[in-house]
Amino acid sequence: MNEAFDVVDVIRTKRDRAHLSAAQIDWVVDAYTRGVVADEQMSALAMAILLNGMSRGEISRWTHAMIASGERMDFSGLSRPTADKHSTGGVGDKITLPLAPLVAVFGVAVPQLSGRGLGHTGGTLDKLESIPGWRAGLSNDEIVGQLEDVGAVICAAGAGLAPADKKLYALRDVTGTVEAIPLIASSIMSKKIAEGTGALVLDVKVGSGAFMKDAAQARELARTMVELGTDAGVRTVALLTDMSVPLGRTAGNALEVRESVEVLDGGGPADVVDLTVALAVEMLDAAGRPTGADEVRAALGDGRAMDVWRRMITAQGGDPDAELPVARHTEQVRARRDGVLGELDAYAVGVAAWRLGAGRSRKEDPVQAGAGVEIHVRPGEQVAAGQAVMTLHTDTPERFPRALEALDDAWQVAPAGTAVGQRPVVLDRIH
């Protein structure tokens, strides 16, 4: 068939810092999805976008074209409004697990389509799959039914949502163009908008354990995604949150599920609770059900959020009372002297958990349910010589040396009495 454009002309347009027209964008995304535009040609265009950027109009149109490559879900028939959360990924980021049932308590449905981990950042689906019987793959009808009945679902996104993104994401990964903010933003937002949620809260991480290490870049990404959501008619807000230190006291699949259940039971680490509550307040407000933080926090302490969690896990074939997997081998990292833990680098902890078997290098790699890092002492807390700072968990003890190597310079003990600055979990709000 005759094509509307020559791909080389489209590449040259962006190479020469000119704006792509709406028609050019619609055609090139569709033609790439159909296989008319070759990988090497789309690689050249992606690199031109990384180097020369895109205007708000171009990014919005690119996102629209990605959405148009597949199906759109529709939750307008539900008896309650919908709100979703997306995190750009971090270490120990188990927030989705307590957050989805917590928001559902207040009459807002949460269609949380999640992914698997790659590299040092953990995947929500990997965590939940450590629960015996739980399944990630649901049909669209099952998703809608569970949202109406339970109010929350955490599951895998179907292959029909933004297939252009799946193809382009794999290409960016091998061509050095992952960092292009227009392509990151459109990748995330095309899936979230196609998902059909009425409101969206973005948790954009910044720090050593985040994809975005630099605050200015993280802020630009957050602003771009908020604009894309707004342009598409989705009420969107972003929180910039700290990822210089791991969230909570665990990094690993079953370990993080245990910690999430503690939060749902009214306990758990303060930073995990605080971020869960902050995001829940934002989601409820964006969905038109404004609720105060104290009232939201109370639902964690009085069992309401736990009730929804148990129903959500059961609805997807899981047993909320089952024993979670435990790694067969452990090794402790101990302090050599008394003092105060001065720092704990999130990225290094994430790499250690990954090397222990909690993460994967390639999408097809298996993960160990019980593997990961348990953190006993956080920055600012006192530690004694010989005390365990961390416990490493794995089924394959030959992994310990490389995991320990990742942690070599990740933490240090400062003299007793040293003041250790504590960063707030939420750094900024962009709307």
Residue 187 annotated in active site:
yes
Reply yes or no on whether 167 is catalytic: no
Mean pLDDT estimate for the chain: 94
Fold of 7-53: 1.20.970
191 noted as active-site residue: yes
The one catalytic residue in 165, 203, 242, 271 is 165
Three-state SS at 411: strand
Residues 94, 120, 191, 219: which is the catalytic one? 191
Check 14, 120, 127, 172 and give the catalytic one.
Answer: 172
For residue 118, what pLDDT is reported?
64
pLDDT over threshold 80, residue 223: yes
Confidence of residue 25 (pLDDT cuts 50, 70, 90): very high
- Give me the amino acid identity at 319: D
Reduced to 3 states (helix: H, G, I; strand: E, B; else coil), residue 252 is: strand
Please check whether the domain covering 83-315 is classified as CATH 3.40.1030.10: yes
Beta strands in 53-157 (DSSP E): 83-87, 110-114, 152-156
Alpha helix positions (H), 360-412: 400-406
Starting at the edge strand that comes first in sequence, how are the strands of the sheet with 411-414 ordered? 382-383, 339-344, 411-414
Q: What pLDDT does 366 receive? A: 83
Of the pLDDT bands very low, low, confident and very high (cuts 50, 70, 90), residue 123 is confident
Res. 285: pLDDT tops 70: yes
Burial of 294 (0-12, 13-18, 19+ CB in 10 A): exposed
User: What are the distances in angstroms from CA 98 to CA 6, 144, 216, 315, 431?
Assistant: 49, 20, 29, 16, 24
Average pLDDT value for residue range 202-230: 94
> How far apart, in Å, are the Cα atoms of 226 and each of 13, 29, 68, 139, 164?
27, 22, 20, 29, 21
The pLDDT score that the predictor gives to residue 143 is: 95
How many whole angstroms separate alpha carbon 289 and alpha carbon 295? 12
Chain segment 408-426, per-residue pLDDT in tens: 999 999 998 888 888 899 9
pLDDT band, residue 365 (cuts 50/70/90): confident
Closest to 358 in 3D by CA, of 294, 406, 292, 304 = 406
Query: Is-catalytic flag, 393?
Result: no
Evaluate if residue 119 carries a pLDDT over 70: no
Report the phi/psi class of residue 135: left, alpha or beta, with left for phi > 0 and alpha for psi in -120 to 50.
beta
Residue 63 has pLDDT above 90, yes or no: yes
If we measure between CA atoms, which residue out of 91, 115, 120, 93 comes closest to residue 355? 120
The single residue of 64, 85, 86, 249 carrying the catalytic annotation is 86
Here the tokens at position 404 are 């320990």
* CATH of region 329-414: 3.90.1170.30
- Note if 304 is an active site residue: no
Which tokens belong to 240? Answer: 């910039």
Q: Please tell me the distance from the alpha carbon of residue 98 to that of residue 100, in angstroms, as a whole number.
A: 6
pLDDT at residue 71 tops 80: yes
Domain boundaries, the chain: 7-53, 83-315, 329-414
Q: Are strands 110-114 and 152-156 parallel, antiparallel or unpaired?
A: parallel
Report residue 1's pLDDT band, with 50, 70 and 90 as the boundaries: low
Choosing from 187, 208, 244, 260, which is the catalytic residue? 187
